[in-house]
Amino acid sequence: MNETPSVGIHDMSFATTHYVLDLDELARHHNVNPAKYHVGLGQDAMSVPAPDEDIVTMAATAAAPILQRHGTDHLRTVLIATETGIDQAKAAALYLHPLLGLPSTTRVVELKQACYAGTAAVQMAAGLIARDPNQQVLVIASDIAHYQLDTPAEATQGAGAVALLVSADPAIARLDPVCGLYSADVMDFWRPNYRTTPIVDGHYSITSYLAAAAQAWRDYSGRGGRDLSEFASFCYHQPFTTMAFKAHHHLMCSAGITPDPTAIHAALRYTTDYNRVIGNSYTASLYLALTSLLDHAGDLTDAPIGLLSYGSGAVAEFFSVTVVPGYREHLRTTATSQAISSRKPIDYDDYRALHDTHLPTDGGRHVLDEHTTGGFRLAGVTNHIRVYETC
């Protein structure tokens, strides 16, 4: 009998926006003690998209280095996970075809379930590869967290994209077979089609996240998963980084372990560095936590990492990856820190102006000014068609 090949993350790459707002600037104008953001939420800055950036430009910027390294010969599927959809019908990833030279012999789909959909895409990719280990799947989680101005959620905005190449015999991390699932109809966060910002019951979303995490863990344990003590580290979905600490505390209690701050710190150390300065990137946030861990921790070869994915509404999944030997040679640590450090700081007035910028909807021809230097840009909109270009 043929042995089932391992499947997992073969390459991963991150992109974010052209602009950044320091949360001290937000705190000053909102008359809020900055410690609420830095300590209470665990956030220092937020990525802010330029008018010529969106989930497609971030997705293209994240995916391009992966395609440069691996080519497209084995690429059969492109899955884009987002809750910042630019169209009600067409998958955002189809716009990547001319930008990235994607082969026409690919299936291309957009997945949605709030911040969870990236994990759904990864699991679907694993299923496809189990059926045909010769094929590779490009998963891109790309999102812009855009809340109503002057609301408590405003400080948790952010934007980013993580592209993952999922394949057999992965170079970075193997997906372990056991996963724990939980879903329930919860109205903690949603965005009706007619709104540009979500409706969110922030405190309810925190308790919903914690409850769903505990249930997913219970399912995981019941299916023969690892003991909590076996994991070298834990990556959580991070709408703001202190949420990861709340979630791990809750998971320890659920597992019957007395939570100890030192153990929690050790378990999450290195997983929050990027999200602290990017803000919420919804579907990308969990995979940015994993990127941060791999980039900053010491040698994790053969270490099992627990991952908790949560999407309001709500779906949670606890699963794990095992880091493979030689993974460090495949990381893109320098490119990620450059994407973060090269963002252009903006002041509060510019941030407010950008927040209120919306594409015209009249079907006319509109050309957008050049802002981004990210490699791909939204050049304008004509006849209701978004026009992208390489820059």
Kindly state the tokens that stand for 321: 């990856």
Q: What is the DSSP letter of 156?
A: G
Minimum CB–partner distance for residue 161 and ligand COA (Å): 19
| CB-nearer residue toward ligand COA: 203 or 384 | 203
Minimum CB–partner distance for residue 285 and ligand COA (Å): 10
Whether 253 is a known active-site residue: answer no
Whether 237 is a known active-site residue: answer yes
Q: Which residue is nearest to ligand COA (CB)?
A: 40
User: How distant, in Å, are the alpha carbons of 108, 160, 209, 236, 264 from that of 282?
Assistant: 21, 8, 13, 12, 23
| CB-nearer residue toward ligand COA: 205 or 292 | 205
The rounded distance, in Å, linking the Cα atoms of 72 and 296 is: 30
**Residue 254 near residue 180, CB atoms below 8 Å:** no
Residue spans of alpha helices (H) in the chain? 23-30, 34-35, 55-70, 96-100, 117-131, 202-222, 242-254, 261-268, 273-278, 285-296, 333-341, 348-355
Minimum CB–partner distance for residue 293 and ligand COA (Å): 20
Kindly state the tokens that stand for 41: 């939420």
| CB-nearer residue toward ligand COA: 66 or 212 | 212
Question: Which entry of 25, 53, 83, 110 is annotated as an active-site residue?
Answer: 83
Burial of 47 (0-12, 13-18, 19+ CB in 10 A): buried
| CB-nearer residue toward ligand COA: 65 or 239 | 239
Please give the full DSSP string across 268-308, using - where no structure is assigned: HTTSSHHHHHH---GGGHHHHHHHHHHHHSS--TT-EEEEE
**Residue 113 near residue 95, CB atoms below 8 Å:** no
Question: Which entry of 10, 18, 146, 237 is annotated as an active-site residue?
Answer: 237
Question: Which entry of 115, 146, 235, 317 is annotated as an active-site residue?
Answer: 115
Minimum CB–partner distance for residue 25 and ligand COA (Å): 17
Minimum CB–partner distance for residue 240 and ligand COA (Å): 6
**Residue 25 near residue 54, CB atoms below 8 Å:** no
Around Cβ 268, how many Cβ atoms within 10 Å? 21
Establish whether 236 is an annotated binding residue: no
Establish whether 351 is an annotated binding residue: no
CA angle, corner 23, sides to 41 and 17, nearest 5? 105
Whether 83 is a known active-site residue: answer yes
Residues engaged in binding ligand COA (CB under 6 A): 33, 35-36, 39-41, 152-153, 155-156, 200, 202-203, 205-206, 209, 239-240, 243, 312
Establish whether 147 is an annotated binding residue: yes
| CB-nearer residue toward ligand COA: 35 or 130 | 35
| Known binding residues for (3S)-3-hydroxy-3-methylglutaryl-CoA | 147, 246, 280
Residues classed as catalytic: 83, 115, 237
